[in-house]
């Protein structure tokens, strides 16, 4: 059996909501019949807040009566209960429950504030087949994954590496982290549509194969794809041409299929120093002309003017030295732009823009 998995849809009811989020969920459901999948798990935060209208979601589910949809509440919709959603193909697990799917145990653990996930798993310890069962929950994994979203600081229903070693699940499928993230055996599908400009890049849902216990990714054709680009500008005679080249290089590396390019909404930042701010603005607008700018125009708040020839020459030498460094480091290390900004802050005796 193959089962689709998503999470953190954060639906908002009404005309003033975010229709692109419902559209992303619809795209998942539309893909499932062609993939010969008839079951979808939503691992928490289906709704952006508790006790809201459910009509739009129910209408969508009614359009796919042959797909069974299994839902657990998350920290945004913790009061979601089975009697809230009346569509026949929906099941809500508001209490922890162990179910069998084609000979594979799935333990559904809905979000519960002030509770650790390991405490809930321990209640089922005698029933779980070590190395065979699969956890479906909503919360933070403490083995190295943390919440990247600034609106949800803190830790929610934590799962520790010790819990995984102790209870031996074959797989862990979690909601709560909005960015698609994998650290085996833990998999976060991520939100099917980025919720705001901080959640960049294309989106996916997961496909669980209960026979092999494996997980694969399937792309989502979301209506909006958020991206963000920051350019560190140094004053030089060729600064505009350098910027044009860099814009083209960045766009070429975007992991966006050709048919998705018209859905890109990009935030553009320019920081550092230049001789002509107007020229930099024009180059940025021209370079990204085929895409929608998230803020209406490139942001140049931290781009300053410098016409001091000695500082310009020194800044160029600093850039050349930084360019000689191999920047293929781990995620926790500074990027080239971070090092360049820090060096410029020292050179110009200003605070580094972030």
Measured CA to CA in angstroms, residue 159 lies from 99, 105, 117, 138 at distances of 20, 19, 5, 9
Element (H, E) at 172: strand 171-175
The reported pLDDT for the residue numbered 323 is 78
The reported pLDDT for the residue numbered 147 is 46
- What is the C-alpha to C-alpha distance for residues 207 and 215, in angstroms, rounded to an integer? 6
* Confidence label for 13 from pLDDT (cuts 50, 70 and 90): confident
Q: Which residue has the higher pLDDT, 50 or 341?
A: 50
Q: What is the pLDDT of residues 121-146, one digit of tens each?
A: 999 999 999 999 999 999 999 854 54
Q: What is the pLDDT of residues 174-227, one digit of tens each?
A: 999 999 999 999 999 999 999 999 999 999 999 999 999 999 999 999 999 999
**Residue 78 near residue 113, CB atoms below 8 Å:** yes
Pairing mode of beta strands 299-305, 264-274: parallel
Q: What is the pLDDT of residues 229-256, one digit of tens each?
A: 999 888 877 889 989 999 999 999 999 9
Measured CA to CA in angstroms, residue 125 lies from 129, 166, 169 at distances of 9, 10, 11
Q: Tell me how crowded residue 47 is: count the other CB atoms within 10 A of its CB.
A: 24
- What is the C-alpha to C-alpha distance for residues 174 and 159, in angstroms, rounded to an integer? 10
pTM beyond 0.85: yes
For the chain, domains (ranges, CATH) are: 2-220 (3.60.21.10), 225-348 (no CATH)
The backbone torsions φ and ψ at residue 314, rounded to the nearest 5 degrees and listed phi first, read -65, -40
Q: What is the pLDDT of residues 61-91, one digit of tens each?
A: 999 999 999 999 999 999 999 999 999 999 9
Pairing mode of beta strands 214-220, 203-209: antiparallel
Percent above pLDDT 70 for the chain: 92
Q: Tell me how crowded residue 128 is: count the other CB atoms within 10 A of its CB.
A: 18
**Residue 3 near residue 108, CB atoms below 8 Å:** no
């Amino acid at each position: 059996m193959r089962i689709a998995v998503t999470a953190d849809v954060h639906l908002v009811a009404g005309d003033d909501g975010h229709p692109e989020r419902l559209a992303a969920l619809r795209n998942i459901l539309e893909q499932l019949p062609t993939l010969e999948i008839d079951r979808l798990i939503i691992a928490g935060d289906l709704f952006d807040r508790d006790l809201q209208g459910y009509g739009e979601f129910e209408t969508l589910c009614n359009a796919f009566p042959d797909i069974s949809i299994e839902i657990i509440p998350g920290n945004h919709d913790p009061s979601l209960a089975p009697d809230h959603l009346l569509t026949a193909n929906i099941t809500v697990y508001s209490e922890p429950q162990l179910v069998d799917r084609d000979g594979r145990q799935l333990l559904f653990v809905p979000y519960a504030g002030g509770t650790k996930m390991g405490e809930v798993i321990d209640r089922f310890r005698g029933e779980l087949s070590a190395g065979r069962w699969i956890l479906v929950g909503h919360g933070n994994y403490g083995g190295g994954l943390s919440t990247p979203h600034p609106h949800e600081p803190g830790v929610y229903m934590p799962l520790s590496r010790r819990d995984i070693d102790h209870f031996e699940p074959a797989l862990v499928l979690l909601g709560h982290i909005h960015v698609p993230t994998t650290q085996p055996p833990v998999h976060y599908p991520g939100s099917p549509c980025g919720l705001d400009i901080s959640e960049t890049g294309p989106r996916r849902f997961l496909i669980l194969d209960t026979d092999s216990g494996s997980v694969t990714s399937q792309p989502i054709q979301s209506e909006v794809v958020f991206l963000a680009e920051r350019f560190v500008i140094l004053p030089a005679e060729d600064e505009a041409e350098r910027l044009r080249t860099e814009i083209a290089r960045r766009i070429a590396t975007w992991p966006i299929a050709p048919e998705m390019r018209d859905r890109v909404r990009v935030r553009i930042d320019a920081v550092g120093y230049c001789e002509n701010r107007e020229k930099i603005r024009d180059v940025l607008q021209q370079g990204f002309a085929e895409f929608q700018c998230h803020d209406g125009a490139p942001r140049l708040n931290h781009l300053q003017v410098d016409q001091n020839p000695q500082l310009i020459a020194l800044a160029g030498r600093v850039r050349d030295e930084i360019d000689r460094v191999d920047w293929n480091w781990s995620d926790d290390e500074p990027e080239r732009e971070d090092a360049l900004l820090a060096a410029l802050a020292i050179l110009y005796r200003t605070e580094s823009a972030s």
